[in-house]
């Protein structure tokens, strides 16, 4: 009588997918399942989320705001702010101010930041000028090691508190990307605060000098 049962596969074929074989493959691939090439999909340049973290660790964004009061009329303070040679010259570390146009000027700024001594070439542009109460600027620059500086917003406001008293308020946002971006937010915030206080002292000194 004929045997209608399906013939058994050779033992060698049955054992190709055995647990032992799969286990050896997994060990060869470091404990991960081997994925056939035709099933792999391109996940883009940042398939490993750690790559994005590495890039972000070299960028820092800082925002500072403060105000000060000076014993001078608002018009006198405004005349200082709208003159980039005087206003930017009051910033600590500014070595030169080159006015290219009425609304654009270049700065050379040298500072010590943490263990680094750096020098930036910065271009600033006036975006809004509303005499004598409001001034808005943006800027960008580069340091010799390749660190990039962006200033998306720098807002200065004046408010008359009397005939001979004025409040200056400012809010500045900037970001560093590159070597200096690794310094950490707290250190950069502290450095920005030091520069802010020195800027206020230099403004008062300039106003006193021109008033005398």
Render pLDDT for 85-138 as a digit per residue (tens, 0 to 9).
999 999 999 999 999 988 999 999 999 988 889 999 999 999 999 999 999 999
What tens digit of pLDDT does each residue of 2-22 get? Answer: 555 555 655 544 444 454 555
The model carries a pTM of 0.70
Q: Whole-angstrom Cα distance, residue 152 to residue 196?
A: 18
Q: Judge contact between 58 and 177, C-beta under 8 A.
A: yes
Specify the pLDDT at position 34. Answer: 47
> For 36-77, what is each residue's pLDDT tens digit?
444 444 444 444 433 333 344 578 899 999 999 999 999 999
CA-CA distance, 37 to 56, in Å (whole number)? 31
Residues in the chain: 212
**Maximum average pLDDT range among 3-7, 179-183, 203-207:** 203-207
Q: Where are the beta strands (DSSP E) in the chain?
A: 59-70, 94-99, 104-113, 116-130, 134-143, 148-162, 165-177
Structure tokens belonging to residue 140 = 């960008």
- In whole angstroms, give the CA distance from residue 204 to residue 12: 91
Handedness of CA 21, 27, 32, 37 (dihedral sign): negative
Q: Is the domain defined by 61-211 classed in CATH 3.30.530.20? A: yes
- What does R_g of the chain's alpha carbons equal in angstroms? 31
pLDDT for 24: 55
Q: What is the pLDDT of residue 73?
A: 98
From CA 199, how far away is CA 206, in angstroms rounded? Answer: 11
Domain ranges of the chain: 61-211
């Amino acid at each position: 009588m004929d045997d209608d049962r399906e013939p058994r596969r050779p033992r060698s074929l049955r054992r190709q997918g055995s647990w032992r074989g799969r286990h050896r493959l997994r060990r060869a691939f470091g404990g991960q399942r081997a994925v056939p090439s035709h099933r792999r999909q391109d996940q883009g340049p940042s398939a490993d989320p750690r790559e994005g973290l590495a890039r972000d660790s070299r960028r820092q964004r800082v925002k500072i705001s403060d105000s000060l009061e000076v014993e001078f009329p608002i018009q006198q303070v405004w005349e200082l702010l709208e003159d980039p040679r005087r206003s930017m010259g009051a910033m600590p570390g500014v070595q030169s101010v080159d006015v290219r146009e009425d609304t654009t000027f270049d700065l050379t700024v040298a500072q010590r930041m943490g263990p680094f001594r750096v020098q930036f070439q910065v271009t600033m542009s006036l975006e809004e000028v509303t005499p004598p109460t409001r001034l808005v600027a943006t800027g960008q620059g580069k340091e010799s090691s390749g660190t990039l500086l962006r200033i998306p917003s720098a807002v200065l406001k004046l408010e008359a508190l009397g005939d001979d008293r004025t409040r200056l308020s400012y809010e500045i946002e900037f970001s560093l990307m590159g070597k200096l971006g690794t310094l950490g937010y707290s250190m950069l915030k502290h450095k920005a605060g030091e520069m802010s206080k020195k800027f206020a002292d230099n403004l008062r000194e300039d106003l006193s000098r021109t008033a005398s």
